[in-house]
A and B are shown apart, each in its own frame.
Chain A
Amino acid sequence: MDTIAVIVLACGLLGGFRNFLSDYPSSSYRCVLFLQRLLEGILAAAIVPLFLSMIGNELIPDLTSASTSPSLPRPYAILQFIGFALVAALYSRRFLDTVSSKLLQLEQDVKKSEAKADRAQEDVNKTAHEVTTLEDIVIESPIPPSAELSPSSQTFSLAPGPELKVLEAMETSHIPARSVEGLSVDVQDGAATVTATLSKLQAHSLVRAISTSRGERWVLTELGRLTLKSRR
């Protein structure tokens, strides 16, 4: 730690003095300017550790022996740090501006990342809720034991095809109970095909039939709705 402080002070003073000489004033404010340049040099050199940590450089742990497996031998690390500190002190104003603007940008990035993380967390919670609901439905739905044991009922995948078309037609409808004929109009397929598709979907508890005064109607089950949702 002492090494770092000594390097920062020495390089800061050196860089500051060099800057003072390069724009040597003829006015009576010479003394003030001298102090100003020295201070800028020291500040810039002191910010080097922060800058190094921002760019992910391991030089400071190597210098302070905090690292158990230093990437550089200590003498090389000292020389490299002196180099950084000198450059920072020589270009103190530009360096300070750059680091401060980088810091502000970093802060904004952190805020954005936090917002993204929050959204991701919400999505995870929502999905978890849907999965729980799905589990509840699977557990609570009155599926006959034979259907429960059937491997096809557990591994039904909704690939593009008549099943998906029928389910989507049922989902988009604002009429809750659909007839085979109505669904045939929607999916532009024959009534026989739609009936077969509905039977297949019923076997997987994705739709159910209800008896009405107008004859048999078909309704999308909660499981069918969730299956459609999970596909998106």
Chain B
Amino acid sequence: MSVGDAAAIYQELDGFFDHFSDEFASAVGLKPIADHSAFWNIGQSQVYDLNRYAHFHELQIPDRARRAAYLVKWIQRLRPVRVEADITALPEERGKFALLVNEQFALYVASGILRIDLEQAFSAKMLNMILYTMRYRSPSEDSFLLFFVYLSE
């Protein structure tokens, strides 16, 4: 993938979402819905980030860790996935999955980009902490970058 290809990122996200939504629907019984304009916006924002990075470091192809970190950042901010259900009416255990659907999608995408299944790599406790941090704190892309670089090595 070239650095400045927003359409390719859009396609990639859409592909990830297809698999993610199937998995989520099978597991939770709720079908997530994608906001494709948000996917496009994520693609554009990712391109700006990668261009800036490539220009500054004089690199042509940013590594997987950085691509994953930027994507996680933009998914967190632009929240392209939603579940059309009244979370207050759902049982608690299904509600928590629905509430964290964007964070889970972000981890799913990161897993795909890094080619490391994060769910297999970490304990539930650790994953819960990551999901919580993504939703309620403001981790920067640099935090994710460090984390993903560490995982990739």
Contact = CB atoms under 8 A, between A and B. Distances in A.
A214 B127 contact: no
Looking at chain B's contact residues, the main secondary structure is helix
A186 B123 contact: yes
B83 to A, nearest CB: 12
B19 interface: yes
Interface in A217-232: 217, 219-220, 225
Main secondary structure of the interface of A (DSSP, over half): mixed
Contacts of A212: 19, 22-23, 26
B100 to A, nearest CB: 6
Nearest to A133: B91
Interface residues of B, number: 26
Given A178-B119, A210-B27, A172 B19 contact: no
A217 B128 contact: no
A219 to B, nearest CB: 5
Given A181-B117, A212-B26, A213-B22, A176 B97 contact: yes
Nearest to B127: A175
B124 A186 contact: yes
A134 interface: no
A185 interface: yes
A162 interface: no
A174 B127 contact: yes
Contact of B26 (A170, A174, A210): A210
B137 interface: no
B119 A171 contact: no
A174 B117 contact: no
Contacts of A211: 26
A211 B25 CA distance: 11
Interface of B: 19, 22-24, 26-28, 93, 96-97, 100, 104, 107, 111, 117, 119-125, 127-128, 131-132
5 contacts: A174-B131, A174-B132, A176-B97, A182-B119, A186-B125
